[in-house]
Each structure stands twice: as C-alpha cells, then as structure tokens.
Amino acid sequence: MIHLLATGGTIAMQRSAAAGGNVPALDAEQLVQAVGGLGDRRALRVEDWERLPGVHRGPVELWALRNRVAELVAATDAPAGVVITHGTDTLEETAYLIARTVSPEVPVVLTGAMRTSSDPGWDGPANLRAAVEVARSPESRNRGALVVFASRILDGRFVAKVDTLALDAFASLHAAALGAMDGTVRYQRPSEPHHLMLARDLSPRVAVVPLILGDQGALLDLARPQFDGVVIEGFGRGNIPPGAIPAVRRWLDDGKPVVLSSRCVAGEVGGEYGFEGGGGQLLKMGVLPAGRRTTSLARMELVLSLSAGVPYGTQNR
C-alpha cells in the first residue's frame, strides 16, 4: 500500500481567469483521476491533507505535516511508502525536515510540478507516477525522505530548487543524485547514514541575512532582538565585509548562534582566509559553518538544533 498525502502546490493548480493566474483547484482524488496510470487503485490510499501553495505553509503547518508523516511511518500497518505532492517553492524545506526527524525505514517521496494541468506539457503526471514507483520499490527502504522530479531521485537532505521555471527545477548540490527513473527505478549509489534530530517543533526563530558589498551589519543588528539565531550568507568560501564583523560579534556575545553559508550555489564555506572578515576569522570567533547545506537548509538545521537543544551540526546527517 502507498499512502498519497496531497498538500497542494502547482501540481494541484489550474489557471483562473478571475484570479488572473494559477490557483489551488484539484483535491487529492481529482489529482489522482487527472494523472491516471498509478497502478492498482486498491494499492493507493489517498489523503487530502491540504490544498496550499508552498509559501502559505508556516512553521506550525509544516510541523503538523511532519507529524502526520511520522504517524504514518510509525503505524503498525505502515504503508510501503508515502508520497507527498507539494508546492515546489518550499519543497526542499519539507524534504529536509522529514529527512532529519522521521525514521528512514519507510520511504517518503516528495514531488510536484512546474506547470499546472491547464498548461501544455503538464509535468505533474510524469512526476507523480515516478514518485509512486520509487515509493513502491524495495530498494527505497531505509533511504528516508527522497525527492523525485524530472526523472531524478534525490536525497531530501541535499535537494534544492535551482530554477524558477524549468521542468528539471531540482538538483542535489552537495551530494550526487541517488538514481534516476528510466522506465524503472534505478539507484546508482547508497544513501548516506541517517542520524535523526529529536526536535520538538519549529518554534525557534532563525533569521537569514545575506550580506552585501560594504555591509556594516545594520540588518544583523535590526534582526538580533527578534530572533534566536541567524544564518549569514557570505561570499565565496564565507568571507564577509569587515564592517559587519562587530554586528556578528554582538550576536555571539548574546549567546545566539550564527551560521555561515555562501551565496555560491555549491561548495562549502571554509577557513583558509584569515583577513578581517575572512571565513577563517569568523570560524575562529565561533561562527558555525553551514556544511553541505544551502542557506535555506542551513536555516532549517539551526531551527531543529535549537528545538532539540543541541549544538548546530552535533547530529549532522
């Protein structure tokens, strides 16, 4: 049995003349009927969880979705796999959350679409069919959260949306893709070991502050009273303008964690540069490297770390 959890997103949208654009339209059953080709319908259990654009789901709603997935996975009659149809804008945060907090035995496969059913070349059917096949595959067990999109099978801990419009909008920037769909499920490499984060919720407030040329730390200072931690997005290997260093130090003096990511789409921050504002100086100050995470996933990791009461990266992957 595969449990389909429909949460909305472009895959469930249609074009509305009244709204002047795409809006949520299809419930879970309508989506299944529109897609077709999902195999024996008796082997597919459908749940209409939500019908929301990805950006309408906040921390409370996202944690509730996570809890529903955890409940399904832990049930005595757990399905062979869970498939989640999801908005692409925030699919990477949901995939990462599930990958870091839900037991990996039962595969949880997230997918969506870049075009609606009103558009020529709707990619929803191919993506959903592929996701269901991946969820059914015995090789997917113990791989945790996966993203299946445009025939790729990606690890939910490393996935990122990298294009605003292309059908192959998702990539794995800090680890190779796990496999691909070419008429059958083909894995090319094993998943990395899973280490779960025992977070309680998503209530910790974590800001993201991208730094700019000549930055003097004004936004960092404005955010500090309102947030429990911050991810700063630096340049290259994690270098930042020297004028922002005092503001970073004030966060650390307040006992609030600062994580350093890069505006580069791939690669990690490092400590080679020892000049004022260099990544090496920041790490020596106690700023934490994002590791193999994009800025959005570094933020999610810090939220989970604060919620679990452990240092950032302690239960890394």
* 247 phi, psi to nearest 5 deg: -70, -40
* Catalytic choice (7, 10, 116, 295): 10
State whether residue 54 is helix, strand or coil. Answer: helix
**In which order are the strands placed within the sheet that holds 152-155?**
44-52, 2-8, 81-85, 108-111, 145-149, 152-155, 179-181, 185-187
Tokens at 221, concatenated: 């200072």
CB within 8 Å of 290: residues ≥ 6 apart: 231, 259, 260, 261, 262, 268, 269, 298, 301
CB within 8 Å of 254: residues ≥ 6 apart: 224
Residue 214 backbone class (left: φ over 0; alpha: ψ -120 to 50; beta: rest) = left
* DSSP state, residue 309: T
Residue the block writes with tokens 């260093």: 245
Q: In the chain, which ranges are continuous DSSP H helix?
A: 28-35, 59-74, 91-101, 124-136, 218-223, 245-253, 279-285, 295-308
State whether residue 207 is helix, strand or coil. Answer: strand
Tokens at 113, concatenated: 């679409």
Active-site residue, 101 included: no
Q: Which residues carry out catalysis?
A: 10
